[in-house]
Amino acid sequence: MTQNRNVVLFIASSLDGYIATKEESLEWLFKVEGEGDNGYSEFYDTVDTVLMGKKSYDWIMKHGFEEFPYKNKGCYVFTRSTIEDTENVKFVSPDIPNFVNELKSQPGKNIWIVGGGELLQSFLKENLVDELIVTIAPTIIGKGIPLFKEGDYQLDLSLKGTRNFNQFVELHYEVKK
């Protein structure tokens, strides 16, 4: 069976490779002059499933959005704890590779891995990421939460394209399998 759904990382990073400060702040990101929504809506229309770790979910919930930002998508949050599902989220703690490969084999649009950190590192180690779309902000923050954690993995990438949104530069890579 052909897998037509891709797991895509879509994220913004500082030029020195951080996705947030140590205090989990994104203020540095919002100070940069972009263009429209910097390609977010266009990307968002290409996915119907959102995957994230518990830390990313907690950050979203802590920052008081008026409504859950991914409520019109299938949303799965990976956690080691037993948490009851909500109207918008299913909490899962299965074997990640089997779960993701099962999702990829189902009909649908692409699958978005939200956030960086431990979950992303697990996906990279298991070679589950198909594309990376990283939007670079012209900011150096010096320290913070790295986009890619140090680990025992290596990916070879092929550049699919670049775009700029005023001061932001989007790099779109495909993972060579």
The residue type of 21 is: T
Q: Which residues pair with 134 in a beta bridge?
A: 11, 171
How far the first Cα of the chain sits from its last, in Å, is 17
Contact between 7 and 110 (Cβ < 8 Å): yes
* pLDDT digit string, tens, across residues 114-134: 987 888 999 999 999 999 999
Contact between 131 and 174 (Cβ < 8 Å): yes
Using alpha carbons, list the distances in angstroms from residue 95 to 7, 65, 71, 78, 98.
16, 30, 24, 10, 6
- Flag whether pLDDT at 1 surpasses 50: no
- What is the pLDDT of the chain when averaged over all its residues? 93
Q: Counting every residue, how long is the chain?
A: 177
CA distance 119 to 128: 11
| DSSP type of residue 86 | -
- Range 7-175 has CATH code 2.60.120.10: no
CA distance 3 to 11: 23
Residues 6+ apart with CB under 8 A from 87: 71
Contact between 50 and 152 (Cβ < 8 Å): no
Give the pLDDT score at 118: 85
* pLDDT digit string, tens, across residues 15-67: 999 999 999 999 999 999 999 999 999 999 999 999 999 999 998 888 877 88
150 token code pair: 């140090």
Q: Is 171 helix (H, G, I), strand (E, B) or coil?
A: strand
- Flag whether pLDDT at 97 surpasses 90: yes
The residue type of 109 is: K
Looking up tokens 């809506």 gives 41
